[in-house]
Amino acid sequence: MKPKIIDVNLENIEEYPPTCFLNPKNEGYRIKRDWLKKRSSEGLKIKALFDEADKKVHGFIEYISGENAWRAVEAKDYLFIHCIWINPNSYKKKGYGSDLIKECLKDAAGKQGVAVIASDDAFMANKDIFLKNGFKIIQEDGKQQLLVKQIKKGTLPKFKDHKKQLKKYKGWHIVYSHQCPWVARFILELDKKTRDKLKIKITELKTAKQAQDAPSIYSVFNLIHDGRLLADHYISSTRFNNIIRKEPQ
């Protein structure tokens, strides 16, 4: 039997926890859930892929109005996909990701279209699934692409000038948001001795406007040293320490 797609809300999220939101007992999960509560008035939606056979969620898609996107983009009058996730590998390449994207496209009726940021690097969806579903690449920056599927003609979305924002950060900085629960977990686990030694300034992005003005396109995590972006997505503590060791102190 094909998995069904569930509309996840604050009432049923414990029953259908999105797969990358960690175990519901994990502190990062709670932080993400609390973040979602604050987004309820901004039109954020989550659709989960639920398999009745094992009673588990094996994928999800998260999207919101472009005006409230938590990425460094301008996407007015579009829906914007934050994340799409299918897990484990046995559920991939079966069309389930496309099914989730189609749910978002249905909700985009009346909008100019749907936009998303993809990446050739880790921790973000690859562009291929969106190209397969009729999206087009309209802008590229390094390994990241801004893709759009237009429903009606109008102004296209675009990247914001994150590099201009990056120049403002001197010394060590971590700039992050609770949009990603893995990042929230990393912040909780960050070694206090390392933080104090390097005098790392940690800044939480608390609004979509702040996220859109972040010093990286992905927005949710930024490890910065003297205006240079060293990591722009969740990293393990081991990876973090390796980066620190290679940097001039």
Q: For the segment 96-111, what is each residue's pLDDT rounded down to a tens digit?
A: 999 999 999 999 999 9
pLDDT for the residue 96: 97
CATH C-level class of 4-159: alpha beta
Domain residues of the chain, as ranges?
4-159, 162-246
CB atoms within 10 A of CB 183: 23
CA 60 vs CA 5, 7, 161: distances in Å: 9, 10, 29
Q: For the segment 3-56, what is each residue's pLDDT rounded down to a tens digit?
A: 999 999 989 998 999 988 888 888 888 999 999 989 988 999 999 999 999 999
Q: For the segment 174-216, what is each residue's pLDDT rounded down to a tens digit?
A: 999 999 999 988 888 888 888 888 899 999 999 999 999 999 9
Cβ atoms of 147 and 137 closer than 8 Å: yes
CATH topology of domain 162-246: Glutaredoxin (3.40.30)
For the segment 60-83, the average pLDDT, to the nearest whole number, is 97
Adjacent-strand bridge partners of 114? 79, 149
Q: For the segment 154-167, what is each residue's pLDDT rounded down to a tens digit?
A: 999 999 999 999 99
pLDDT at residue 249 tops 90: no
> Residues with Cβ < 8 Å from 163, sequence gap 6 or more?
215
Question: What's the pTM value of the predicted model, to 2 decimals?
Answer: 0.95
Question: Which two tokens mark 107?
Answer: 């909700």
